[in-house]
């Protein structure tokens, strides 16, 4: 591909492979995450690829199209866009910025009967829940709720910090239990814990 830098060529290859395997174009955030670069750097490369007529794109999410590529992607009505609120901890609690970082795209059939307006996604940082299949880098899909049942996997605000743990009320206290013996159960006075939601799904991306 004449006229491209190595970084631009690699990004173009990633866009093509992602689009072919997922049936949709990657977002700027997914490209930045894959290459471990800033979104501003991704935007700069995409603008160069546009000027060189290797891609076309609009301001809408997942609008990147390889120039001249006519392959049809899956119908977007089958894809549910869930707001990604940030990266949180599944190890020691980590401050949650509550800023929307982008979107996580899921098969809409996974959440039939759900009020999708109440769903949000969070990215897991840590391995304290690995024995329940929640791994570092996974995206958990959460239903907004201020209540939970014993044993539910919840997103909980304890003090000023947010974490994902299993919920166990104990009288006037709440135990937030990890699923990894390397981590200790966290015990709080009930008034110190605010349930933000219940984990109802998981999205995992495999690196190519």
Q: Which tokens in the block code for residue 200?
A: 């109802």
Catalytic site includes residue 145: no
Residue 80's nearest CA partner among 112, 125, 54 is 112
Residue with tokens 């631009």: 8
Whole-angstrom Cα distance, residue 188 to residue 158?
Answer: 8
Q: Is 44 helix (H, G, I), strand (E, B) or coil?
A: helix
Helical (H) or strand (E) element with 48: helix 39-51
Can 128 be counted among the known catalytic residues? yes
Contacts of 79 (CB under 8 A, 6+ apart): 24, 105, 106, 107, 108
As a 3-state breakdown, the chain gives helix, strand, coil percent values, each rounded to 5, of: 25, 35, 40
Of the candidates 19, 89, 96, 128, the residue annotated as catalytic is 128
Task: For the chain, report the end-to-end CA distance as a whole number of angstroms.
Answer: 21
Task: Find the catalytic residue in 165, 173, 194, 208.
Answer: 165
157 within 8 A of 196, measured Cβ to Cβ? yes
| Count of Cβ atoms closer than 10 Å to residue 123 Cβ | 20
Give bridge partners of residue 197 from the DSSP assignment: 144, 155
Residue spans of beta strands (DSSP E) within 95-160: 102-107, 119-125, 139-144, 153-158
Which of the residues are catalytic?
128, 165
């Amino acid at each position: 591909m004449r006229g491209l830098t190595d970084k631009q060529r690699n990004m173009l290859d990633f866009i093509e492979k992602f689009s072919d395997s997922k049936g949709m174009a990657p977002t700027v955030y997914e490209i930045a995450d894959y290459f471990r670069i800033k979104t501003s750097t991704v935007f700069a490369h995409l603008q160069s690829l546009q000027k060189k007529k290797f891609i076309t794109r609009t301001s809408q999410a997942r609008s990147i199209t390889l120039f001249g590529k006519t392959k049809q992607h899956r119908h977007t009505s089958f894809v549910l866009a869930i707001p990604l609120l940030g990266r949180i901890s599944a190890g020691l609690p980590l401050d949650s910025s509550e800023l929307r970082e982008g979107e996580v795209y899921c098969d809409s059939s996974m959440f039939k009967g759900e009020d999708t307006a109440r769903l949000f996604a969070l990215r897991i940082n840590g391995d304290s829940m690995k024995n329940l299949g929640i791994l570092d880098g996974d995206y958990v899909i959460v239903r907004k709720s201020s209540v939970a049942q014993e044993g539910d996997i919840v997103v909980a605000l304890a003090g000023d910090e947010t974490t994902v743990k299993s919920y166990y009320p104990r009288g006037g206290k709440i135990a937030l239990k990890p699923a990894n013996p390397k981590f200790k159960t966290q015990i709080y006075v009930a008034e110190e814990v605010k349930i933000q939601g219940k984990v109802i799904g998981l999205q995992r991306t495999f690196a190519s």
